[in-house]
Structure 1
Amino acid sequence: MTLNIKIIPISKKLELKQFDCGINELNVYLSQYSIANDKKNIGKTFVAVGEEHNFPLGYYTVSMVQVYFHELTDDIKKSLPKYPIPSMRIGKLAVSKGVQGKRIGAYLLRDSFLRAIRISEDVALKFIVVDALNEKSKEFYIRYGFIPLKDNPLKLVISLDTIKMAFLSFHNL
């Protein structure tokens, strides 16, 4: 089964209260806080919708953050300055239970990568950062190239250079 999916900015027209990913914290965020945080420029939420454009299949929220030099592993630190590094945080990423396992999480992640590449044309951005909720979500991010940080294995990063190389090599096939 192929889903026709598009990613749109959060909107009051969406049936946010119907969303259920199986993790209450992520359901509550989408239904109660995402629109207000979007308006306040605290976090921008983007929603995957299918044929029924008002029902969210999944979502992610992004904001800007700094990664501190001391948090990075030695291999990542090479050639970086010893002050905070500008980054983009994926604060939330969730997929509705009814469509889990259909690669919507990967589609959302890909969209966030493309968004980071566009942002980096105007704003300094070295890493994308995620805070995995648990080991299962950590494994999801590792599968896409994220690396756990030194003192917090549930906090992971991927460099924008890595993302750009992946997209470039894909387009050169």
Structure 2
Amino acid sequence: MSATALMITLEKLYKLHKSLFDLSMDKTDVIKKGDMSELDRVLKDEQKHLTAINTVEAERQRESSHYLQSRGVPFNGAPTISQCIEHSSPQDQETLAHWQQKLVGIIGELKVRNELNQKLVYQSLQFVNMNLSMTQPQPDQSTYSRPNGEKKSPTGRSMFDSKA
């Protein structure tokens, strides 16, 4: 059995990861602009990509299993691309290694971009919290005396305020 089906699946997986990376680049710009409706759209698109990636990854595992089984190679768990490369013809090894390197590269770039986006979101939240704390003064938490000697509670009500 040839590794063609596996290579096609790896190419699909790469294209999905590349598209997800492009979305993460857009997400960076959207976060910087602070456009919440656009951020919501990007997040929904990301979710669709992740669902598709999970589907294609399951397909990759099936193709890898079939490929290794056709070669009579025993394996435990989900077979890796490296295992398939190890048990392939020299020509297939080269192509499989090429797709493996491309996948590792785009996943690494995606990880770096996601970390940046996470930091940007965190900074935006800190900025929002700072603005909220500046515009909404906190009530004085200690009790203090009024000029007539009466104590005021932290809530601003007297301890004896009640309805009869």
**Higher Rg:** 2
Q: TM class by shorter-chain length?
A: under 0.3
TM-score (normalizing by structure 1): 0.25
**Greater RCO between the two (CA within 8 Å, min separation 6)?**
2
Q: Identify, as 1 or 2, the structure richer in helix.
A: 2
Q: Identify, as 1 or 2, the structure richer in strand.
A: 1
